[in-house]
Amino acid sequence: MQKVNVKIINQSKNELPEYATEGAAGMDIRANLQQPIILKSLERQLIPTGLFIELPVGFEMQVRPRSGLAIKHGITCLNTPGTIDSDYRGEIKVILINLSNEEQTINHGDRIAQLIVGKVEQVKWEMVTTINATQRNEGGFGHTGKL
């Protein structure tokens, strides 16, 4: 696996994000809170992390939900995956939503999402009047059936 150097400022008292296992693709990030946040059913909140990064050009960082938080508590991320561009310098914040029927509490230091780093290619548009046909062609939105 290739390692990419990313500059980080940590204004929280939490540990830096890290990979839990050798084969993990994502690093857990934690809430940086002065006091707990209670998410009511179907409520969403922007949760700060205290982290600021400088990604190299040609890379992005995605913010994705944590599966354990989703299945155990009904909490997931909105705008998923959230993209952090290489030129963004603000604090990483995570939009959480409570999809359960019960109030859920987010505490300081809770693992709230995971970060994935990936390479990015930019598009150079080429104006044409036709594009190649395929077997699928315009089929979409479930055209291959329910399963």
Query: 26: domain CATH number?
Result: 2.70.40.10
Alpha helices in the chain (DSSP H): 67-73
Residue 135: inside a domain: no
| 132 assigned to some structural domain | no
Q: Within a domain: residue 49? A: yes
pLDDT grade for 147, boundaries at 50, 70 and 90: low
Q: How far apart are CA 115 and CA 25, in angstroms?
A: 8
In a domain, 142, yes or no: no
Average pLDDT over residues 78-84: 95
Residue 24 token pair: 């993990």
Q: For residue 139, tell me if it sits in a domain.
A: no
pLDDT above 90 (res 2): no
Given a cut of 70, whether residue 123 has pLDDT beyond it is: yes
Q: Whose CA is closest to 47, among 98, 99, 4, 3?
A: 98
**Is pLDDT above 70 for 146?**
no
Q: Is residue 23 part of a domain?
A: yes
Q: 126-140, pLDDT tens digit by residue?
A: 999 999 998 888 877
pLDDT value, residue 76: 98
Q: What is the mean pLDDT of residues 108-113?
A: 98
**Which residues partner with 39 through β-bridges?**
104
* Containing structural domain, residue 106: 7-119
What pLDDT score was predicted for residue 14? 98
Residues in the chain: 147
> Does residue 136 sit within a domain?
no
> What does the pLDDT look like over 36-55, one tens digit per residue?
999 999 999 999 999 999 99
Assigned domain for 47 exists:
yes
- Our count of domains for the chain comes to 1
State how far the Cα of 105 lies from the Cα of 136, in Å rounded to an integer: 46
